[in-house]
Chain A
Amino acid sequence: MRASGCRGVRRSWARSGSALTTAATLVVALGACGGSGDSADTTATAAPTSTVLRVAEQDFGGIMLDPAVSYGVARQGYGELLMTTTADSRVVPALARSVERSRPTAWKVELRRGVTFQNGKAVDGEAVAAALNRQLSKRAGLKDVLPGAKIAASGRLEVTITTPKPDPQVSVKLAESDSFPVYDVSAIEKAKTDAGIAGAGAFTGPYAIKTLTAKKMVLERFDGYRMGTPPLAGVEYTFVKDPPARLAAVRSGQADIAEAMNTVGVKRAVASAGDVLFKLSDAPLDGIRLYFNLTRAPFDDAAVRQALLMAIDYETIATRFFDGTFDAPTGLFPGTYPDNKPTIATDVAKARSLLDAAGWTRRGSGTRSKDGKPLEFTILTYTQRPELKTAALALQSELAPLGIAIKINDQSYDSKLFADLAGWGIALYVDYALSGTGQPDANLPNYLLPDGFANFGRIDDRKLTSLLRELATAPDDATRRRVIGEVQDVVITQKAYVGVVAFKRDGVVVSKDWRSYVPSVDTAAFKVVDFETHPG
């Protein structure tokens, strides 16, 4: 697998809104793609300005900067990955010049020439291998991602990753948003504290962390950035816990962008305020996945599961219950994923006949029943994701006319609640729409294999297990895509093991000076700032 570095075209297009700028960007970027790639890549972007972007960011109670324990290093403009994922799910090189499979068990990472960390040290094979090895040894759970992998510099600008068994997904795993950022290991270890890391220039992104306190992180332009001079003079993150306070910050002119604002009601609040804008990301990141409890009636019957998936009016949920800030699903994956198979569709009449045929009949306007037992169950949701309660309420109101009675149990997240199969008929769970890599491969085993940690409904299907094993060792992309297609057929069309209620796009509130800002989903994580972010 080899991918060329055409990064930068898509978002410039989306953000500038000017045909002339777009054309110029396209010409220059295409030129860069076809070039030798021996030097640090360059792409057209806005000219450097004195603007400092002020972001009202979520507050998790203190940011951690050591990539071995922190998440989303590539999200805020200071860190980068070797590979990245585009909104249409292509995995393309970022910091790497190329990543290709040299043998069935070996991958060669070629690095760009002339790239440095923000502290001036060269980003060479040794430095990159040190960062990846430190992640493998120190980051909890990462050894399972590349089990038994050996990573070593095989040239000045080359790293070789060797796996004990053939692993077709190594290049994709390098795009995983939380796993393998590239950083200066010695600078991180010398700094010891987050405040020390802040000034160490240990990363490679377009903006370097200057200061960090409990409530603020200040980034300044990294003039030596590989793609040229970044457009902004800096980025200032203020950590704000309360979403209304983030909104107020933009409305009062204290911030340009408020993060993580796709909660029910914000779009309407913004519309009524009129002085700021609500913007959605260019692709969904999360999915509200619906798990059937396969161990108990009524969902031990595939016909009932299929009927229920057909009875849901997804479009209404997305547009009315979620104000149009969520996407209605057409399949197991978002519509932006090229291999998504249209397997989900609303057909209430067919749902009724399937339920009747399965013996769940209805007298008058009451609840359906079978052998004297009513068709009623509990939907389990958790309070940390308020959208789940909204989705549950939507299902409750949509399925009631079909004679299906639903109770909702909304609790603080606890894996024990999901493990207690006596307590729920359907569980709703927010998960990556694809996975942290922008591809579904890494996530499918988690909820479809018998030992998957998110296999809440106890799916245990031989054919599915066999398909997923084949996917894990697929020798080429054609095989991979065929298997992913077959998985969708089994999971939705044939067995209806799980469903999707809606896909969630990330939402931000921006001031009018930033009207062209579009939240990006590079690296399968919402990226606040990157090289192309500029005002306008």
Chain B
Amino acid sequence: MGMKSSHSARFAWVLSATMILLLASSAAAAVESTSTPDEGVAGADDPSRIARWNALREAVFGKREVAEGSAVIQMEVPARALDAALMPLGLTLKGGNTIKGVYLFIDNNPSPLAGRFLFGPAADPSTLKMRVRINEYTLVHAVAETRDGKLYGTHKFVKAAGGCSAPAGTNEADALKEMGRMKLRLLGEFEPGKPMQALLQIRHPNFNGMQMNQITRMFTPARFIRTVDVSYNGEQVLHVESDISMSEDPAITFGFVPREKGRLEVQAVDSTDARFVHIFDVPAPAAPSAASTDAAPDSPVAEPKDFWLGPVNGPVPATLSGGTVIRAHDLAALLKERSAVVVDVSNSQQRPEKLAPQAVWMPPPHPVIPGSLWIAGAGAGVIDPHTEKLYRQRLAEATKNDLDHPVVVYCHERCWLSWNAAKRAIRYGYRKVYWFPDGIEGWRAAGFGTETLTAAASPS
């Protein structure tokens, strides 16, 4: 996605420039504030608010004019924000495909540029909704950018406070456990070529790094969704760059134009580079139940003769020669009935090399089907000798050298690693190899429990 990378670089620069500028301006404000001690109740038209917006606008748009834009962009916020940590905000855009994107500013949040939204060719840029945090009484600005480079702005004054320093949820452990789950709700009927809307929900705590632990005097490290990319049948719908001003469990409503039945693919990346990918069928599959979190059934992919050497994530075959494909409920029944060796071959999260040395690296606990062995690397297309030896050894130990002992291999949905590792186990001579292609996501979606392993439990 070329669109994404070029914009990301620019966006990052803009953000940091904004930060520096705001640090400077807030220091100035502190000096002035002796005459106006209660800045929190300054009205919508207070000069300090206008000055802050002017500074912000200049930091992001430079000398470009932001025209009064109510003919192009309108904003809807609740008359009174009921929950400062979760304020619904809606934008209505008039201008169709001439609209390239939208900038959202929550002026008085510590990180005021709350999000940037870029519409792709498959978008219907008429509606955008999101949920935001409001730290104190503030103006909220939305600026639409047209494809010919014009800017149109609108704003609202919001009375709410505490949304950043008082997170809505206190169940942090639970939030981390479920991180990366997604739901998509299609709003309206599917009709080819007709614009429709979708509500995308992403389970993520969006820790904003602003809560100080009073005992350690340390801030809970920030961890938040940084980008979200949505495409339909491979065509870009929406690219979002966001940060800590988005609420816990970010939820975005957007419009798109499905020319035919297909799939909406969502990829979210958080500030630790953790990547969450989900694919949703459009129209939604007939049986709803828990299926909204399942990956779409894959189109038929032929089994390769040998190990798969292509991209790890993508459509996988429906079969595995010499083995049995198993689904969640059958697997649960199998595990209940008799002992089987269950092997998770998903990758462990490695500390990114570019991470600053002082940055906290703390991958979330790794959820597995209870009792699983975690053997990262066993599903590589080309396996290194050390890992191969380890994989053979651990299978031999766990099965007590019984080639008729059931072996179940899985990783994630739409992931070739488990297919490769299961095939490998068959080649080692195991006669009852089960491949569970729905992965840990499918296991959970079916309502079964997991246990967690830490990275230390994974062989390096």
Whether chain B is bound by chain A comes out as no
Interface residues of chain A, those whose CB is within 8 Å of chain B, are: none
Interface residues of B (CB under 8 A from A): none
